[in-house]
A and B are shown apart, each in its own frame.
Chain A
Amino acid sequence: MADGADGADGADGMGRGVRVFLTACVCGIASGMFGIGGGVLLVPLLGLLFSFSQHRAQGTSLVALIPPTGVLALLAYARQGFVSWKTGLLLIPGVFLGGIVGGRLAEKLQPQRMRQVFAGILFALGTWQAFSAWWR
């Protein structure tokens, strides 16, 4: 608890490193459970718990997603036949190219606004998913 206030300036001791690591483990559990990268949880948590600015949290999250962090989880899913390889291969180039465009846009847009719009969409999407799963 000695530091923490200013994660953005690299005033990082062992304690902060351990806490960042544990936070990432939680994001990882969500990643494996829900088949996602974990960035959607990591970005707000870096901001809320470690006072990262929004852009810094996003840039750091992109670094965390460079190595194939989901590979162990993917093997577990693949072993049970839960991977559509063809659809995946078709989606990869689009996601990559779109990412370049999005990265440029992010520098120009107001971060609060874009995140709130996204949060709204996410909430609606989540409500829809939960509803269609349990009240059908």
Chain B
Amino acid sequence: MMTSVILLLGLGVGVLVGLLGIGGGVVLVPAMVYLLGMDQHLAQGTSLFILLPPVGVGALPEYWKQGQVDLRAGILCAVGILLGALGGSLVALPLPSRHLQGLFGCFLMLSAILLWRKAQPASKTSGDGGRAHG
């Protein structure tokens, strides 16, 4: 029972990975906290483990075919994230779980605002919305 919940959860998160070009951890962590009753630290560590294999590589060919990939920027970002992530984990590990969970919530709200903001000018100034209809 629990196993099938977990498998379905993975599938649902995966759709978001391909749709939005994200790793999925941002959804996986709260899902593991609330659906599976995990502690915040444990959920975050497990999320990092899930992201170890290239889970987004299945979605990438679709973007690649349409020329929607900046390879050089992508590689630079990978190196930056690798190093930054080590620093971030050193900050998070000593924090009490409760505060970490609260901070995570604030981070989600901030990301939501950033995602929303980009949406508005893009719909007016760039033509990429139209191309997506196919």
User: Of all chain A residues, which has the CB nearest B17?
Assistant: A99
Q: State which size class the interface on B falls in.
A: 35 or more
Question: Complex: how many Å from CA A133 to CA B34?
Answer: 12
**Known A-B contacts A103-B58, A111-B132, A119-B119; A35 and B78 likewise in contact (beta carbons under 8 Å):** no
Contact in complex: A73, B10 (CB < 8 Å): no
What's the dominant secondary structure at chain A's contact region? helix
Cα distance, A71 to B51, chains bound together (Å): 9
CA distance A88 to B117 in the complex (A): 33
Q: Name the prevailing secondary structure of the B interface residues.
A: helix
B5-31 contact mask (Cβ, 8 Å, vs A): 1 or 0: 011111111111111111111111110
Give 6 nearest A-B pairs by CB, closest first: A98-B14, A28-B84, A37-B23, A94-B10, A102-B18, A35-B44
A-B contact pairs, 20 of them (CB 8 A): A24-B81, A32-B91, A34-B44, A34-B104, A35-B46, A35-B47, A37-B26, A38-B85, A47-B122, A62-B74, A63-B69, A65-B23, A74-B48, A77-B48, A94-B6, A99-B58, A102-B17, A103-B60, A122-B111, A130-B101
Q: Which residues of B contact A (CB under 8 A)?
A: 3, 6-30, 32-33, 36, 38-39, 41-64, 66, 68-93, 98-99, 101-119, 122-123, 126, 128-129, 131-134
Q: Which positions in A face B, CB cutoff 8 Å?
A: 7-8, 10, 12, 17, 20-48, 50, 52-74, 76-78, 80, 82-85, 87-88, 90-112, 114-116, 118-120, 122-123, 125-134
